[in-house]
Amino acid sequence: NAGVTQTPKFQVLKTGQSMTLQCAQDMNHEYMSWYRQDPGMGLRLIHYSVGAGITDQGEVPNGYNVSRSTTEDFPLRLLSAAPSQTSVYFCASRSPVYEQYFGPGTRLTVT
Amino acid sequence: AQSVSQHNHHVILSEAASLELGCNYSYGGTVNLFWYVQYPGQHLQLLLKYFSGDPLVKGIKGFEAEFIKSKFSFNLRKPSVQWSDTAEYFCAVTPSSAGGGNKLTFGTGTQLKVEL
């Protein structure tokens, strides 16, 4: 039982490049989400999903896309990276009793 | 929409000192409340949670929190901190209504440093 896994751990992008952050969970949780963590701002919700085929926007969705084709996977796509997207990204899945399990994070730098 | 305030951004304590971290939320209905901890270089872990019932909840590693509804507060406490408690602590809230739990809102965090 690996919990929530994320790849890559580190990534450097140039402005305008696109990439996908991968997230997978093996706990059969319906609910998954993506957060970004910035100094002094805590964690902010980007997108979330309540099950395969269902996604919705969080607090800061602009510049990011998500899809949920399976229960296990919830990738986050940056369409055209900007320096403002430099951050640490955490994926999480939530149990039926509302306990969130976080992945190890992806540290993204956009130059 | 709900919001969370953590007024202590940085706290420095000596080992064995008592800890209390403040958390206040804003929301007009019933809520579920959480405290998460992030140790240096690690991901967030759940310390404790409150859904209903006894307003004093106990979590892992000797932490506890008290929900005071009239004050919209959920302060985190520990009687005697250890150097290993050095970490960042986040309070979080979600409405307890159906569907409301889909949006977990975090406070900005409190960085705790425990000195030997």
* Residue A2 in this model has a pLDDT that exceeds 80: no
Let me know the angle formed at the C-alpha of A90 by B104 and A70, rounded to the nearest 5 degrees.
85
Arithmetic mean of pLDDT, A8-15: 97
Is A19's Cβ below 8 Å from some Cβ in B? no
Question: Tell me: the pLDDT tens digits for A91-108?
Answer: 999 988 888 899 999 999
Q: Which of A41, A56, A104 sits opposite B108 (nearest CB)?
A: A41
Q: Check pLDDT > 70 for residue A1.
A: no
Residues from B contacting A (CB-CB < 8 Å) are: 4, 6, 9, 32, 34, 36, 42-46, 49, 51, 90, 94, 101-109
Shortest Cα–Cα distance, A19 to chain B (Å)? 22
DSSP line for B57-103: EE-GGG-EEEEEGGGTEEEEEESS--GGG-EEEEEEEEE-STTGGG-
**Closest residue, chain A, to B93 (C-alpha):** A98
Place of tokens 């085929």: A53
The tokens 């997978």 sit on which residue? A24
Percent of chain A with pLDDT over 70: 99
Is a pLDDT exceeding 90 seen at residue A33?
Answer: yes
Instruction: Name the residue type at position B111.
Output: Q
Residues in CB range of A92: below 8 A, 6 or more apart:
A4, A32, A33, A34, A35, A100, A101, A102, A103, B44
Question: What pLDDT is stored for residue B100 in this prediction?
Answer: 65
Mean pLDDT of A50-77: 96
User: d(Cα B4, Cα B108) in Å, to the nearest integer?
Assistant: 8
Provide the pLDDT for residue B2: 83
- B104 pLDDT tier (thresholds 50, 70, 90): confident
With CB atoms and an 8 Å threshold, state whether A42 touches B46: no
Backbone phi and psi for residue B111, each to the nearest 5 degrees, phi listed first: -85, 115
- CA distances to A24, A53, A68, B47 from A1, rounded to whole Å, are 12, 24, 21, 21
Q: Is A83 helix (H, G, I), strand (E, B) or coil?
A: helix
| pLDDT for residue B101 is more than 80 | no
pLDDT score, position B28? 84
Shortest Cα distance, chain A CAs vs residue B15, angstroms? 25
What's the confidence (pLDDT) of residue B102? 74
